[in-house]
A and B are shown apart, each in its own frame.
Chain A
Amino acid sequence: MGTMLKVEDINVYYGAIHAIKGISLEVNEGEIVTLIGANGAGKSTILRTISGLLKPKIGKIEFEGQNIAGIAAQRIVKSGISQVPEGRRIFANMTVMENLDLGAYVRSDKAGIQEDLKMVFARFPRLEERKTQEAGTLSGGEQQMLAMGRALMSRPRLLLLDEPSMGLAPLLIKEIFSIIQDINKTGTTVLLVEQNANMALSIANRAYVLETGRITLAGAAKDLAASEAVRKAYLGG
């Protein structure tokens, strides 16, 4: 298991606000790694920086040995990282099928795209039923599935998930998390950002705890789930 993603001492600013204050983390090939922390801790900012939507002022981001810090977002997608953004951000005025097509925007291997489309429909049968429907008419859970399916259409080696549980009913959250595990088992490495620390720690190999732009704890997910400090702060005692 080699290191797939290596984030080294990145500092990210929103204007004058110092949002990420020197964070380092690693994701190994095949792992599920989760970043947990309260609202505003900087979890999404880290994912947005990895995806290239934000540029770190200082620090390095290496993906499979290549430096990707400060590179344009579209080139990062091409290199094999795909993100399911917070709030799903599906293209509501387009059909389900068009959303999935856009997920494969960087690819031109028609046969491979068809193959992955079948894989996505097998994983999310409801998307196939609704493929001609406008995406905005889907339920919240279906939209989350569409956002995940769309991200998978680029055939990423590293999948970034930002709050996939947000706004979903507990039963649906369970379903989504078991799908995340399936996706991981079929060879996609996952970096998961969650406020629902319980669920995130239950499926992750390793975890980082983030507080106001700094990592305060790191370790195996099961150790963190057992740790007194984490239980008090994030797991409701």
Chain B
Amino acid sequence: MDFSSFSEQLIQQLINGVSLGSIYALIALGYTMVYGIIKLINFAHGDIYMVGAYIGFFATSMLHLPVLPALIISMVVTGLLGMLIERLAYRPLRHAPKVSVLITAIGVSLFLEYTSMFFVSPQPRTFPNVMESVTYHMGPFVVNSQQILILVITTILMVILTYIVQKTKIGKAMRAVSFDTETAQLMGIDANRVISITFGIGSALAAAGGVLVGVYYNSIDPLMGIMPGLKAFIAAVLGGIGIIPGAMAGGVILGVIESLVSGFLSSTFRDAAAFAILILVLLFKPSGLFGKNTREKV
């Protein structure tokens, strides 16, 4: 392979990687926000993403909605589902040992997977063609309209999320609860309400990822959340679990690495690369790329 075709291939894989990575980032945000606020790795998060994809599927195939309204409906309904799960499964365990909550999360994960199977059948479904797939050639590079949709939607959602977390009252409350729940309560913050909203936002973002994946890959099934859930978890750890910009960056980096590995080596190694990253991060920088060791002043 000569140099110019190598660099073309590289840039093409970067384009693919960024769009795949944006999806990981959307899911990783929910992981990291929930971890940040109640120190729980919510293993059901990948399945929430699956539910989001199905809601998007029904909104487009049965209600014949265009992609944007379907996306919004899916985000709202899945957000409410996330809040309901928190209320029913996690809140009663607020003062229980962490491992009990973790086991519950695995239980919720299996519950969502197999309840979905019962209702929508285990067969993969073909996502309706909600947008015309147009392929754009920019010189030697190829970008399709789905990739552009993914990038635009993800960017908008991340800007909104950053605004909410940094500038609004509820965002400040989220950061306060995440830093020190008890002191946040002394400020008059209703920690339970903030935790509930965090689950809602995280689940809505995962739902957006699910709908976008449906549009991009056209196929969804009840177990589709397992692998992306794990990948998003890796992305969150890579960026530094609990750190919102870390999840965004971690997702994109992971997507790019996976694309490069499948482009230049073989797609067989794609998943291995992701898990190798997890192992390396845990070995050498467990606090993640954006994590810093916090010191306390006395």
Contacts and interface: CB of A to CB of B under 8 A. Distances in A.
Partners in one complex: yes
Interface string B179-218: 1101111111111000000000000000000000000000
Contacts of A72: 185, 190
B179 A93 contact: yes
A154 to B, nearest CB: 6
Nearest to A73: B185
Contacts of B99: none
Nearest to A87: B298
Contacts of B296: 92
Nearest to B175: A94
A143 B169 CA distance: 22
Contacts of B169: 105
Interface string A80-99: 00110101010111100010
Given A105-B169, A105-B173, A167-B298, A94 B189 contact: no
Contacts of B184: 102
A51 B188 CA distance: 10
A150 interface: yes
Contacts of B172: 94, 98, 101-102, 105
Contacts of A101: 172
B234 interface: no
Contacts of B137: none
A85 B180 CA distance: 12
Interface string A135-152: 010101001000000100
Contact of A102 (B173, B182, B190, B297): B173
A98 B179 CA distance: 13
B176 interface: yes
Given A136-B297, A140-B297, A140-B298, A77 B176 contact: no
B100 interface: no
A67 interface: no
- Chain B residues touching A, majority SS: helix
Contact of B176 (A83, A85, A94, A154): A94
Contacts of A154: 187-188
B293 interface: no
Contacts of A94: 172, 175-176, 179
B294 interface: yes
Interface residues of B, number: 21
B186 A73 contact: yes
A53 interface: yes
A74 interface: yes
A174 to B, nearest CB: 20
B189 A74 contact: yes
Contacts of B182: 53, 85, 89
What is the interface residue range for chain A against chain B?
Answer: 20 to 34
Contacts of B185: 52-53, 72-74
B183 A103 contact: no
A74 B190 contact: yes
Nearest to B182: A53
Given A136-B297, A143-B297, A167-B298, A77 B188 contact: yes
Nearest to B178: A93
A118 interface: no
Interface string B147-180: 0000000000000000000000100110110011
A8 B133 CA distance: 72
B169 to A, nearest CB: 7
Contact of A91 (B176, B191, B297): B176
A18 interface: no
A185 interface: no
Contact of B183 (A85, A98, A167): A85
A126 interface: no
Given A93-B179, A94-B176, A105-B173, A150 B297 contact: no
A82 B187 CA distance: 8
Nearest to A138: B297
5 contacts: A73-B186, A89-B182, A89-B183, A92-B297, A101-B172
Interface of B: 169, 172-173, 175-176, 179-180, 182-191, 294, 296-298
Closest 10 CB pairs of A and B: A77-B188, A106-B188, A73-B185, A89-B183, A74-B188, A105-B187, A102-B187, A74-B190, A105-B188, A167-B298
Given A77-B188, A136-B294, 6 more contacts: A53-B185, A72-B190, A73-B185, A102-B189, A105-B188, A154-B187
